[in-house]
Protein backbone atom coordinates (compact mmCIF):
# COMPACT_ATOMS: atom_id res chain seq x y z
CA UNK A 1 0.00 0.00 0.00
CA UNK A 2 1.35 3.39 -0.88
CA UNK A 3 1.93 6.26 1.52
CA UNK A 4 -0.91 8.21 -0.11
CA UNK A 5 -3.40 5.40 0.35
CA UNK A 6 -2.53 5.10 4.13
CA UNK A 7 -3.10 8.77 4.69
CA UNK A 8 -6.35 8.52 2.87
CA UNK A 9 -7.42 5.55 5.01
CA UNK A 10 -6.61 7.51 8.20
CA UNK A 11 -8.67 10.39 7.07
CA UNK A 12 -11.55 8.05 6.30
CA UNK A 13 -11.27 6.47 9.77
CA UNK A 14 -11.32 9.82 11.51
CA UNK A 15 -14.30 10.89 9.51
CA UNK A 16 -16.14 7.75 10.67
CA UNK A 17 -15.28 8.36 14.43
CA UNK A 18 -12.84 5.39 14.92
CA UNK A 19 -10.64 5.78 18.17
CA UNK A 20 -6.93 6.46 17.78
CA UNK A 21 -5.98 3.29 19.61
CA UNK A 22 -7.87 1.29 16.97
CA UNK A 23 -5.96 2.91 14.26
CA UNK A 24 -4.84 0.26 11.81
CA UNK A 25 -1.41 1.83 11.70
CA UNK A 26 -0.81 0.89 15.37
CA UNK A 27 -1.97 -2.62 15.04
CA UNK A 28 1.14 -4.85 15.62
CA UNK A 29 0.98 -8.54 15.96
CA UNK A 30 3.33 -9.96 18.79
CA UNK A 31 3.64 -13.58 19.99
CA UNK A 32 1.86 -14.25 23.31
CA UNK A 33 4.87 -16.13 24.80
CA UNK A 34 7.02 -13.00 24.80
CA UNK A 35 4.75 -11.11 27.16
CA UNK A 36 4.57 -14.12 29.45
CA UNK A 37 8.36 -14.36 29.58
CA UNK A 38 8.66 -10.70 30.50
CA UNK A 39 6.04 -11.10 33.20
CA UNK A 40 7.83 -14.16 34.62
CA UNK A 41 11.18 -12.36 34.67
CA UNK A 42 9.69 -9.40 36.51
CA UNK A 43 7.97 -11.69 39.03
CA UNK A 44 11.19 -13.65 39.64
CA UNK A 45 13.17 -10.45 40.17
CA UNK A 46 10.72 -9.12 42.74
CA UNK A 47 10.62 -12.52 44.46
CA UNK A 48 14.43 -12.56 44.66
CA UNK A 49 14.52 -9.06 46.16
CA UNK A 50 11.85 -10.03 48.70
CA UNK A 51 13.76 -13.19 49.62
CA UNK A 52 17.00 -11.27 50.03
CA UNK A 53 15.27 -8.71 52.22
CA UNK A 54 13.84 -11.48 54.40
CA UNK A 55 17.29 -13.11 54.62
CA UNK A 56 19.10 -9.91 55.58
CA UNK A 57 16.47 -8.50 57.93
CA UNK A 58 15.32 -11.77 59.43
CA UNK A 59 17.66 -14.75 59.28
CA UNK A 60 21.02 -12.88 59.19
CA UNK A 61 20.18 -9.97 61.50
CA UNK A 62 22.40 -11.05 64.43
CA UNK A 63 25.35 -11.88 62.17
CA UNK A 64 25.17 -8.54 60.35
CA UNK A 65 24.79 -6.59 63.56
CA UNK A 66 27.81 -8.36 65.00
CA UNK A 67 29.88 -7.57 61.91
CA UNK A 68 28.82 -3.94 62.10
CA UNK A 69 29.81 -3.73 65.74
CA UNK A 70 33.19 -5.27 64.98
CA UNK A 71 33.83 -2.58 62.40
CA UNK A 72 32.34 0.49 64.06
CA UNK A 73 31.05 -0.19 67.61
CA UNK A 74 33.55 0.11 70.46
CA UNK A 75 33.42 -0.40 74.21
CA UNK A 76 35.35 2.41 75.85
CA UNK A 77 36.77 2.01 79.34
CA UNK A 78 35.98 4.86 81.69
CA UNK A 79 38.89 4.88 84.13
CA UNK A 80 38.20 5.36 87.82
CA UNK A 81 40.40 7.75 89.74
CA UNK A 82 42.72 5.89 92.12
CA UNK A 83 42.25 6.89 95.74
CA UNK A 84 44.66 9.32 97.35
CA UNK A 85 47.16 8.28 100.00
CA UNK A 86 47.65 10.75 102.83
CA UNK A 87 49.62 10.84 106.05
CA UNK A 88 47.90 10.85 109.44
CA UNK A 89 47.31 14.62 109.25
CA UNK A 90 45.86 14.63 105.73
CA UNK A 91 48.99 15.64 103.84
CA UNK A 92 48.92 14.05 100.38
CA UNK A 93 51.56 11.38 99.77
CA UNK A 94 50.16 10.01 96.50
CA UNK A 95 47.51 11.27 94.08
CA UNK A 96 46.40 10.67 90.49
CA UNK A 97 46.66 13.36 87.81
CA UNK A 98 44.94 13.12 84.39
CA UNK A 99 47.20 12.39 81.43
CA UNK A 100 46.77 10.98 77.93
CA UNK A 101 47.66 7.76 76.17
CA UNK A 102 48.65 8.29 72.53
CA UNK A 103 47.48 5.50 70.22
CA UNK A 104 47.30 4.99 66.47
CA UNK A 105 45.80 2.91 63.66
CA UNK A 106 49.00 1.99 61.76
CA UNK A 107 47.34 1.61 58.34
CA UNK A 108 45.92 5.14 58.54
CA UNK A 109 49.15 6.74 59.76
CA UNK A 110 51.41 5.28 57.06
CA UNK A 111 50.31 7.90 54.52
CA UNK A 112 51.02 10.84 56.83
CA UNK A 113 53.57 13.45 55.67
CA UNK A 114 57.14 12.67 56.74
CA UNK A 115 57.63 16.07 58.39
CA UNK A 116 54.60 15.54 60.63
CA UNK A 117 55.84 12.10 61.65
CA UNK A 118 59.18 13.66 62.63
CA UNK A 119 57.35 16.23 64.78
CA UNK A 120 55.29 13.41 66.33
CA UNK A 121 58.43 11.45 67.22
CA UNK A 122 59.97 14.53 68.80
CA UNK A 123 56.88 15.22 70.91
CA UNK A 124 56.83 11.59 72.02
CA UNK A 125 60.51 11.83 72.98
CA UNK A 126 61.52 8.94 70.75
CA UNK A 127 63.59 8.52 67.59
CA UNK A 128 62.07 8.32 64.13
CA UNK A 129 63.14 4.68 63.95
CA UNK A 130 61.37 3.84 67.22
CA UNK A 131 58.17 5.49 66.02
CA UNK A 132 58.31 3.73 62.66
CA UNK A 133 58.83 0.38 64.38
CA UNK A 134 55.58 0.86 66.29
CA UNK A 135 53.75 1.96 63.13
CA UNK A 136 55.00 -1.09 61.21
CA UNK A 137 52.90 -3.30 63.46
CA UNK A 138 50.36 -5.53 61.72
CA UNK A 139 47.86 -4.85 64.49
CA UNK A 140 44.91 -2.56 63.99
CA UNK A 141 45.67 -0.60 67.17
CA UNK A 142 48.96 0.29 68.87
CA UNK A 143 49.94 2.49 71.79
CA UNK A 144 52.61 4.98 70.80
CA UNK A 145 53.19 6.20 74.36
CA UNK A 146 51.40 6.04 77.69
CA UNK A 147 50.98 8.70 80.37
CA UNK A 148 51.74 11.72 78.20
CA UNK A 149 51.25 15.15 79.76
CA UNK A 150 48.13 17.01 78.67
CA UNK A 151 49.94 19.90 76.96
CA UNK A 152 52.05 17.49 74.90
CA UNK A 153 48.95 15.52 73.90
CA UNK A 154 47.29 18.75 72.73
CA UNK A 155 50.30 19.54 70.51
CA UNK A 156 50.13 16.04 69.02
CA UNK A 157 46.45 16.44 68.15
CA UNK A 158 47.18 19.79 66.51
CA UNK A 159 49.43 17.98 64.01
CA UNK A 160 46.25 16.56 62.51
CA UNK A 161 47.77 13.19 61.63
CA UNK A 162 45.05 10.84 60.45
CA UNK A 163 44.79 7.74 62.66
CA UNK A 164 46.53 9.23 65.73
CA UNK A 165 44.22 9.60 68.72
CA UNK A 166 44.39 10.11 72.51
CA UNK A 167 42.77 8.36 75.41
CA UNK A 168 42.26 9.63 78.95
CA UNK A 169 44.13 7.87 81.74
CA UNK A 170 45.80 8.71 85.04
CA UNK A 171 49.35 8.97 86.28
CA UNK A 172 50.40 8.63 89.91
CA UNK A 173 52.22 11.58 91.45
CA UNK A 174 54.17 11.45 94.72
CA UNK A 175 54.65 14.95 96.23
CA UNK A 176 57.26 13.86 98.79
CA UNK A 177 59.25 11.79 96.33
CA UNK A 178 62.11 9.77 97.77
CA UNK A 179 61.33 10.67 101.39
CA UNK A 180 58.25 8.43 101.69
CA UNK A 181 58.68 6.06 98.76
CA UNK A 182 59.51 2.94 100.82
CA UNK A 183 56.24 3.39 102.71
CA UNK A 184 53.96 4.49 99.88
CA UNK A 185 55.42 2.52 96.95
CA UNK A 186 54.41 3.17 93.35
CA UNK A 187 52.15 1.97 90.52
CA UNK A 188 52.94 0.83 86.98
CA UNK A 189 51.64 2.29 83.72
CA UNK A 190 48.40 0.33 84.14
CA UNK A 191 47.84 2.02 87.53
CA UNK A 192 48.45 -1.23 89.42
CA UNK A 193 50.35 -1.04 92.72
CA UNK A 194 53.84 -2.54 92.59
CA UNK A 195 55.40 -1.84 95.99
CA UNK A 196 54.58 -1.08 99.63
CA UNK A 197 51.13 0.34 100.46
CA UNK A 198 50.25 0.94 96.80
CA UNK A 199 50.52 -2.85 96.39
CA UNK A 200 49.11 -3.88 99.77
CA UNK A 201 45.96 -1.74 99.38
CA UNK A 202 45.48 -2.19 95.62
CA UNK A 203 41.85 -3.35 95.90
CA UNK A 204 40.90 -0.44 98.14
CA UNK A 205 42.67 2.25 96.12
CA UNK A 206 41.94 1.17 92.54
CA UNK A 207 38.17 1.64 92.50
CA UNK A 208 35.89 0.20 89.80
CA UNK A 209 36.35 1.39 86.19
CA UNK A 210 33.25 2.03 84.07
CA UNK A 211 32.49 1.50 80.37
CA UNK A 212 30.26 2.76 77.57
CA UNK A 213 29.38 1.64 74.03
CA UNK A 214 29.94 4.05 71.14
CA UNK A 215 29.96 4.11 67.34
CA UNK A 216 33.20 5.29 65.71
CA UNK A 217 33.92 6.15 62.12
CA UNK A 218 36.95 4.84 60.24
CA UNK A 219 39.06 7.72 61.57
CA UNK A 220 38.34 6.79 65.14
CA UNK A 221 36.00 9.69 65.86
CA UNK A 222 32.99 9.01 68.08
CA UNK A 223 29.82 9.68 66.08
CA UNK A 224 27.21 8.23 68.45
CA UNK A 225 26.80 7.08 72.06
CA UNK A 226 24.96 3.75 72.21
CA UNK A 227 24.70 3.11 75.94
CA UNK A 228 26.43 3.47 79.29
CA UNK A 229 27.22 -0.03 80.50
CA UNK A 230 28.70 0.80 83.90
CA UNK A 231 29.48 4.03 85.70
CA UNK A 232 33.02 4.34 87.12
CA UNK A 233 33.46 4.36 90.90
CA UNK A 234 36.57 6.09 92.21
CA UNK A 235 38.87 4.30 94.64
CA UNK A 236 38.81 5.01 98.36
CA UNK A 237 41.36 7.29 99.96
CA UNK A 238 43.88 5.73 102.34
CA UNK A 239 45.14 7.40 105.52
CA UNK A 240 48.49 6.08 106.67
CA UNK A 241 49.92 6.16 110.17
CA UNK A 242 52.97 8.03 108.87
CA UNK A 243 53.72 11.47 110.31
CA UNK A 244 55.30 13.48 107.49
CA UNK A 245 57.35 15.64 109.85
CA UNK A 246 58.88 12.69 111.68
CA UNK A 247 59.31 10.83 108.38
CA UNK A 248 61.35 13.69 106.93
CA UNK A 249 63.48 13.90 110.10
CA UNK A 250 64.16 10.14 110.01
CA UNK A 251 65.02 10.24 106.31
CA UNK A 252 67.50 13.11 106.58
CA UNK A 253 69.19 11.68 109.69
CA UNK A 254 69.69 8.26 108.08
CA UNK A 255 70.99 9.81 104.87
CA UNK A 256 73.44 12.03 106.76
CA UNK A 257 74.71 9.10 108.85
CA UNK A 258 75.32 6.88 105.81
CA UNK A 259 77.29 9.65 104.14
CA UNK A 260 79.18 10.56 107.32
CA UNK A 261 80.32 7.01 108.08
CA UNK A 262 80.73 6.00 104.41
CA UNK A 263 78.30 3.15 105.01
CA UNK A 264 76.69 0.84 102.50
CA UNK A 265 73.16 1.60 103.69
CA UNK A 266 71.07 2.72 106.63
CA UNK A 267 67.52 2.51 107.94
CA UNK A 268 65.32 3.79 110.75
CA UNK A 269 61.80 3.19 112.02
CA UNK A 270 59.72 5.12 114.57
CA UNK A 271 56.79 3.48 116.40
CA UNK A 272 54.04 4.96 118.54
CA UNK A 273 54.17 3.07 121.85
CA UNK A 274 50.47 3.64 122.64
CA UNK A 275 48.92 2.59 119.33
CA UNK A 276 51.52 0.52 117.48
CA UNK A 277 51.39 2.94 114.56
CA UNK A 278 54.43 3.24 112.31
CA UNK A 279 55.17 6.98 112.38
CA UNK A 280 58.23 6.85 110.15
CA UNK A 281 60.11 4.33 108.03
CA UNK A 282 63.20 5.51 106.19
CA UNK A 283 65.91 3.88 104.09
CA UNK A 284 69.03 5.01 102.30
CA UNK A 285 69.75 4.49 99.45
CA UNK A 286 66.33 5.27 98.06
CA UNK A 287 64.76 6.40 94.77
CA UNK A 288 62.36 8.93 93.31
CA UNK A 289 59.03 7.22 92.50
CA UNK A 290 58.19 9.99 90.01
CA UNK A 291 61.19 9.05 87.86
CA UNK A 292 62.13 5.38 87.99
CA UNK A 293 64.14 5.30 84.78
CA UNK A 294 67.35 4.52 86.69
CA UNK A 295 65.91 2.44 89.51
CA UNK A 296 68.22 -0.27 90.90
CA UNK A 297 67.67 -3.18 93.24
CA UNK A 298 69.71 -1.54 95.99
CA UNK A 299 67.48 1.53 95.88
CA UNK A 300 64.31 -0.54 95.85
CA UNK A 301 65.18 -2.61 98.93
CA UNK A 302 63.11 -1.72 101.97
CA UNK A 303 65.74 -2.65 104.54
CA UNK A 304 63.48 -1.94 107.52
CA UNK A 305 61.07 -4.67 106.40
CA UNK A 306 62.90 -7.09 104.13
CA UNK A 307 66.50 -7.30 105.39
CA UNK A 308 67.36 -9.54 108.30
CA UNK A 309 70.51 -9.36 110.39
CA UNK A 310 71.93 -10.66 113.63
CA UNK A 311 70.96 -7.97 116.17
CA UNK A 312 73.93 -8.47 118.48
CA UNK A 313 73.77 -6.92 121.94
CA UNK A 314 70.40 -5.23 121.36
CA UNK A 315 68.89 -8.68 122.04
CA UNK A 316 70.36 -8.91 125.54
CA UNK A 317 67.50 -7.09 127.30
CA UNK A 318 65.11 -9.91 126.35
CA UNK A 319 67.34 -12.63 127.78
CA UNK A 320 67.75 -10.66 131.00
CA UNK A 321 64.06 -9.67 131.07
CA UNK A 322 62.99 -13.32 130.84
CA UNK A 323 65.22 -14.33 133.75
CA UNK A 324 63.91 -11.40 135.83
CA UNK A 325 60.32 -12.32 135.07
CA UNK A 326 60.87 -15.95 136.06
CA UNK A 327 62.44 -14.87 139.34
CA UNK A 328 65.78 -16.47 138.55
CA UNK A 329 67.69 -13.19 139.07
CA UNK A 330 67.20 -9.70 140.48
CA UNK A 331 68.61 -6.39 139.21
CA UNK A 332 71.44 -6.53 141.76
CA UNK A 333 72.27 -10.25 141.46
CA UNK A 334 76.04 -10.50 141.02
CA UNK A 335 77.87 -12.48 138.34
CA UNK A 336 81.57 -13.17 137.97
CA UNK A 337 82.57 -12.37 134.40
CA UNK A 338 86.25 -12.97 135.13
CA UNK A 339 88.94 -11.35 133.05
CA UNK A 340 86.77 -11.00 129.94
CA UNK A 341 86.71 -14.52 128.47
CA UNK A 342 84.71 -17.68 129.10
CA UNK A 343 85.07 -21.12 127.48
CA UNK A 344 81.94 -23.11 126.54
CA UNK A 345 82.83 -26.51 125.06
CA UNK A 346 85.54 -25.63 122.55
CA UNK A 347 84.43 -22.04 121.96
CA UNK A 348 85.50 -18.84 123.72
CA UNK A 349 83.13 -15.95 124.50
CA UNK A 350 84.72 -12.55 124.99
CA UNK A 351 83.90 -9.20 126.57
CA UNK A 352 85.63 -6.17 125.14
CA UNK A 353 86.78 -5.21 128.65
CA UNK A 354 87.19 -7.28 131.83
CA UNK A 355 84.32 -6.54 134.23
CA UNK A 356 85.02 -9.18 136.93
CA UNK A 357 82.16 -9.08 139.48
CA UNK A 358 79.20 -7.22 138.04
CA UNK A 359 75.46 -7.13 138.78
CA UNK A 360 72.62 -7.58 136.31
CA UNK A 361 72.22 -3.84 135.83
CA UNK A 362 75.92 -3.62 135.01
CA UNK A 363 75.60 -6.50 132.53
CA UNK A 364 73.09 -4.44 130.53
CA UNK A 365 74.86 -1.10 131.01
CA UNK A 366 78.31 -2.44 130.10
CA UNK A 367 76.91 -4.95 127.59
CA UNK A 368 78.66 -8.03 128.94
CA UNK A 369 78.47 -11.09 126.69
CA UNK A 370 79.75 -13.35 129.46
CA UNK A 371 77.24 -12.12 132.03
CA UNK A 372 74.35 -12.51 129.56
CA UNK A 373 75.53 -16.02 128.61
CA UNK A 374 75.62 -17.11 132.26
CA UNK A 375 72.09 -15.83 132.77
CA UNK A 376 70.90 -17.66 129.63
CA UNK A 377 72.53 -20.96 130.54
CA UNK A 378 70.66 -20.87 133.84
CA UNK A 379 67.34 -21.19 131.99
CA UNK A 380 65.79 -23.94 129.82
CA UNK A 381 66.31 -23.37 126.11
CA UNK A 382 62.58 -23.80 125.59
CA UNK A 383 61.85 -20.75 127.78
CA UNK A 384 64.12 -18.57 125.66
CA UNK A 385 62.58 -19.88 122.45
CA UNK A 386 59.08 -19.18 123.70
CA UNK A 387 60.12 -15.65 124.70
CA UNK A 388 61.51 -14.99 121.23
CA UNK A 389 58.35 -16.39 119.67
CA UNK A 390 56.10 -14.14 121.77
CA UNK A 391 58.15 -11.16 120.61
CA UNK A 392 57.47 -12.15 117.00
CA UNK A 393 60.97 -13.31 116.08
CA UNK A 394 60.89 -16.07 113.49
CA UNK A 395 57.17 -15.46 112.90
CA UNK A 396 55.68 -14.23 109.64
CA UNK A 397 54.49 -10.63 110.27
CA UNK A 398 50.79 -9.88 109.74
CA UNK A 399 50.95 -6.14 109.36
CA UNK A 400 49.51 -5.89 105.87
CA UNK A 401 52.81 -4.79 104.38
CA UNK A 402 54.21 -6.75 101.40
CA UNK A 403 57.68 -8.20 101.66
CA UNK A 404 57.91 -8.25 105.47
CA UNK A 405 60.14 -11.16 106.48
CA UNK A 406 59.93 -13.55 109.40
CA UNK A 407 63.59 -13.76 110.35
CA UNK A 408 65.01 -16.97 111.76
CA UNK A 409 64.94 -18.68 115.14
CA UNK A 410 65.99 -22.32 115.11
CA UNK A 411 63.96 -24.89 117.10
CA UNK A 412 65.15 -25.01 120.72
CA UNK A 413 65.54 -28.79 120.72
CA UNK A 414 68.61 -28.48 118.50
CA UNK A 415 70.35 -25.82 120.61
CA UNK A 416 73.72 -26.69 122.09
CA UNK A 417 74.97 -24.71 125.13
CA UNK A 418 77.26 -22.55 122.98
CA UNK A 419 74.36 -21.78 120.63
CA UNK A 420 72.08 -20.87 123.50
CA UNK A 421 74.78 -18.57 124.85
CA UNK A 422 75.34 -16.96 121.45
CA UNK A 423 71.62 -16.35 120.96
CA UNK A 424 71.40 -14.67 124.34
CA UNK A 425 73.54 -11.82 123.02
CA UNK A 426 72.18 -11.77 119.46
CA UNK A 427 74.27 -14.20 117.43
CA UNK A 428 72.77 -17.14 115.56
CA UNK A 429 69.37 -15.47 115.32
CA UNK A 430 68.15 -13.10 112.60
CA UNK A 431 65.50 -10.38 112.78
CA UNK A 432 64.37 -7.38 110.77
CA UNK A 433 64.77 -3.87 112.14
CA UNK A 434 61.02 -3.39 112.53
CA UNK A 435 60.71 -6.70 114.40
CA UNK A 436 63.40 -5.55 116.79
CA UNK A 437 61.70 -2.19 117.29
CA UNK A 438 58.34 -3.82 118.01
CA UNK A 439 59.91 -6.14 120.58
CA UNK A 440 61.06 -3.13 122.63
CA UNK A 441 57.45 -1.94 123.00
CA UNK A 442 57.11 -4.71 125.60
CA UNK A 443 59.27 -2.72 128.02
CA UNK A 444 57.79 0.64 127.01
CA UNK A 445 54.20 -0.65 127.52
CA UNK A 446 54.55 -2.30 130.91
CA UNK A 447 54.98 -5.82 129.62
CA UNK A 448 52.54 -6.38 126.75
CA UNK A 449 53.00 -6.34 122.99
CA UNK A 450 50.60 -4.97 120.37
CA UNK A 451 50.32 -5.41 116.60
CA UNK A 452 51.80 -2.76 114.33
CA UNK A 453 49.75 -0.72 111.88
CA UNK A 454 50.68 1.24 108.76
CA UNK A 455 47.24 2.84 108.71
CA UNK A 456 45.98 5.45 111.15
CA UNK A 457 44.52 3.86 114.28
CA UNK A 458 41.45 5.36 115.93
CA UNK A 459 41.27 2.98 118.89
CA UNK A 460 44.23 1.68 120.88
CA UNK A 461 44.65 -2.08 120.34
CA UNK A 462 44.65 -4.65 123.13
CA UNK A 463 48.05 -6.04 124.04
CA UNK A 464 49.25 -9.58 124.66
CA UNK A 465 51.18 -10.01 127.95
CA UNK A 466 54.81 -11.06 127.62
CA UNK A 467 56.38 -10.06 130.96
CA UNK A 468 55.03 -8.44 134.13
CA UNK A 469 54.77 -4.68 134.60
CA UNK A 470 57.36 -4.97 137.40
CA UNK A 471 59.86 -6.61 135.03
CA UNK A 472 59.19 -3.97 132.37
CA UNK A 473 59.85 -1.17 134.89
CA UNK A 474 63.11 -2.79 136.02
CA UNK A 475 64.25 -3.16 132.42
CA UNK A 476 63.43 0.48 131.63
CA UNK A 477 65.68 1.53 134.49
CA UNK A 478 68.53 -0.60 133.10
CA UNK A 479 68.01 0.65 129.55
CA UNK A 480 68.21 4.23 130.77
CA UNK A 481 71.55 3.46 132.42
CA UNK A 482 72.90 2.43 129.00
CA UNK A 483 72.70 6.05 127.79
CA UNK A 484 74.16 7.55 130.95
CA UNK A 485 77.86 8.05 131.72
CA UNK A 486 79.47 4.63 132.01
CA UNK A 487 77.03 3.07 129.56
CA UNK A 488 77.66 1.90 126.02
CA UNK A 489 75.37 4.48 124.34
CA UNK A 490 76.18 7.86 125.84
CA UNK A 491 75.97 9.38 122.35
CA UNK A 492 72.26 8.51 122.30
CA UNK A 493 71.45 11.04 125.03
CA UNK A 494 68.87 13.72 124.24
CA UNK A 495 69.18 17.12 125.96
CA UNK A 496 66.07 17.81 128.03
CA UNK A 497 64.74 14.27 127.90
CA UNK A 498 65.38 10.97 129.65
CA UNK A 499 65.99 8.22 127.12
CA UNK A 500 67.00 4.59 127.22
CA UNK A 501 67.86 1.79 124.86
CA UNK A 502 70.44 -0.76 123.83
CA UNK A 503 73.18 -0.85 121.25
CA UNK A 504 74.06 -3.76 119.02
CA UNK A 505 77.06 -4.48 116.81
CA UNK A 506 76.88 -7.60 114.70
CA UNK A 507 79.57 -9.11 112.53
CA UNK A 508 78.20 -9.84 109.07
CA UNK A 509 78.44 -13.39 107.79
CA UNK A 510 80.51 -13.58 104.60
CA UNK A 511 81.12 -16.93 102.95
CA UNK A 512 79.75 -18.79 105.96
CA UNK A 513 82.10 -17.07 108.42
CA UNK A 514 81.87 -13.99 110.60
CA UNK A 515 83.68 -11.08 108.98
CA UNK A 516 86.14 -9.00 110.98
CA UNK A 517 85.77 -6.00 108.68
CA UNK A 518 82.02 -5.80 107.91
CA UNK A 519 79.56 -4.90 110.66
CA UNK A 520 75.99 -3.75 111.21
CA UNK A 521 75.67 -1.21 114.01
CA UNK A 522 72.24 -0.65 115.52
CA UNK A 523 70.51 1.07 118.40
CA UNK A 524 66.96 0.64 119.66
CA UNK A 525 65.66 3.10 122.22
CA UNK A 526 62.60 4.74 123.74
CA UNK A 527 61.73 8.27 124.77
CA UNK A 528 60.86 9.91 127.07
CA UNK A 529 61.51 7.39 129.84
CA UNK A 530 59.06 9.01 132.28
CA UNK A 531 56.21 7.99 129.93
CA UNK A 532 57.55 6.33 126.78
CA UNK A 533 55.92 7.61 123.59
CA UNK A 534 58.32 6.56 120.82
CA UNK A 535 60.34 3.48 120.01
CA UNK A 536 63.12 4.40 117.58
CA UNK A 537 65.33 1.79 115.91
CA UNK A 538 68.33 2.70 113.76
CA UNK A 539 70.59 0.44 111.67
CA UNK A 540 73.79 1.39 109.82
CA UNK A 541 75.04 -1.28 107.42
CA UNK A 542 78.80 -1.66 106.86
CA UNK A 543 80.09 1.66 108.19
CA UNK A 544 83.53 2.39 106.79
CA UNK A 545 86.62 3.38 108.73
CA UNK A 546 87.50 2.56 112.33
CA UNK A 547 84.13 3.59 113.81
CA UNK A 548 81.61 0.79 113.44
CA UNK A 549 79.98 -0.03 116.82
CA UNK A 550 76.28 0.69 117.29
CA UNK A 551 76.78 3.25 120.04
CA UNK A 552 78.95 5.41 117.79
CA UNK A 553 77.19 5.09 114.40
CA UNK A 554 73.51 4.50 115.32
CA UNK A 555 73.38 6.17 118.75
CA UNK A 556 73.83 9.73 117.42
CA UNK A 557 71.12 9.15 114.80
CA UNK A 558 68.72 8.11 117.56
CA UNK A 559 69.65 11.19 119.56
CA UNK A 560 69.00 13.65 116.73
CA UNK A 561 65.86 11.86 115.55
CA UNK A 562 64.37 11.55 119.04
CA UNK A 563 65.11 15.17 119.91
CA UNK A 564 63.39 16.53 116.82
CA UNK A 565 60.47 14.09 116.98
CA UNK A 566 59.75 14.92 120.64
CA UNK A 567 59.76 18.63 119.88
CA UNK A 568 57.65 18.15 116.76
CA UNK A 569 54.94 16.44 118.83
CA UNK A 570 55.21 19.02 121.66
CA UNK A 571 56.14 16.43 124.29
CA UNK A 572 57.26 18.13 127.47
CA UNK A 573 60.88 17.63 128.61
CA UNK A 574 61.35 15.33 131.60
CA UNK A 575 65.02 15.96 132.39
CA UNK A 576 67.24 18.77 133.60
CA UNK A 577 70.00 17.58 131.29
CA UNK A 578 70.75 20.40 128.85
CA UNK A 579 73.72 18.91 127.03
CA UNK A 580 75.09 15.49 126.19
CA UNK A 581 77.60 14.14 128.69
CA UNK A 582 80.29 11.97 127.09
CA UNK A 583 83.18 11.07 129.39
CA UNK A 584 86.60 10.88 127.75
CA UNK A 585 86.80 7.21 128.65
CA UNK A 586 83.31 6.35 127.42
CA UNK A 587 82.84 2.62 127.38
CA UNK A 588 82.48 0.83 124.07
CA UNK A 589 79.87 -1.90 123.78
CA UNK A 590 80.52 -5.53 122.98
CA UNK A 591 79.97 -7.19 119.67
Q: Which residues are catalytic?
A: 313
| Nearest alpha carbon to residue 286 among 272, 277, 304, 298 | 298
Say whether 72 sits in a helix, a strand or coil: helix
Strand pairing category for 238-239 and 85-86: parallel
Give CA torsion, residues 42, 44, 50, 54, to 10 deg.
Answer: -170
Report how far residue 229's alpha carbon sits from residue 319's, in angstroms, rounded to the nearest whole number: 63
Over 236-290, what HEC string results?
Answer: CCEEECCCHHHHHHHHHHHHHHHHHCCCCEEEEEEEECCCCEEEEEEEECCCCCC
| Nearest alpha carbon to residue 501 among 529, 533, 520, 521 | 529
CA separation, residue 57 to residues 45, 54, 63, 206, 414 (Å): 18, 5, 10, 44, 82
Per DSSP, the residues of 368-416 read -HHHHHHHHHTS-HHHHHHHHHHTTTTS---SS-TT----B---GGG--
E strands present in 27-79: 73-78
CA angle 82, 84, 89 (to 5 degrees): 170
CA angle 486, 487, 488 (to 5 degrees): 130
CB contact burial 283-305 (16+ within 10 A = b; e otherwise): bbbbbbbeeeeeeeeebbbbbbb
Report how far residue 200's alpha carbon sits from residue 184's, in angstroms, rounded to the nearest whole number: 10
CB 304 within 8 A of CB 265: no
Report how far residue 280's alpha carbon sits from residue 244's, in angstroms, rounded to the nearest whole number: 8
CB 480 within 8 A of CB 500: yes
Classify residue 508 by burial, with Cβ atoms within 10 Å: 0-12, 13-18, 19+.
middle
- Check residue 112 and report its DSSP letter: S
Residue 341: other Cβ atoms inside 10 A:
13
Amino acid sequence: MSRGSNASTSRVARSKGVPFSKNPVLAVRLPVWRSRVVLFVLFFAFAALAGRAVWLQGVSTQFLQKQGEIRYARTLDLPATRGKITDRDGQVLASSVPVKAIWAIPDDVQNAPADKLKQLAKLLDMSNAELQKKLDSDRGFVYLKRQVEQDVADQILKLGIEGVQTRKEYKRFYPQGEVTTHVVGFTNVEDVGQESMELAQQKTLVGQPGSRRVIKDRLGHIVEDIESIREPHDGKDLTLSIDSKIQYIAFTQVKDAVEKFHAKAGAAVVLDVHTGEVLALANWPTYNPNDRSKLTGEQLRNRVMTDTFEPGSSLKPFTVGLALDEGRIKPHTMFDTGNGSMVIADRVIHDTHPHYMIDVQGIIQKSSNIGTSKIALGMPAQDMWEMFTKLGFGQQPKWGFPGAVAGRVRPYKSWRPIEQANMSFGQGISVSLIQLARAYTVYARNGDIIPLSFQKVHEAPHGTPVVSAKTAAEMREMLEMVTQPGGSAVKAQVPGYRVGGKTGTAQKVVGGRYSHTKYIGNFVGMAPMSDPRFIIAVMIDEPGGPVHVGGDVAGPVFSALAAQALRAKNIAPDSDLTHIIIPESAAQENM
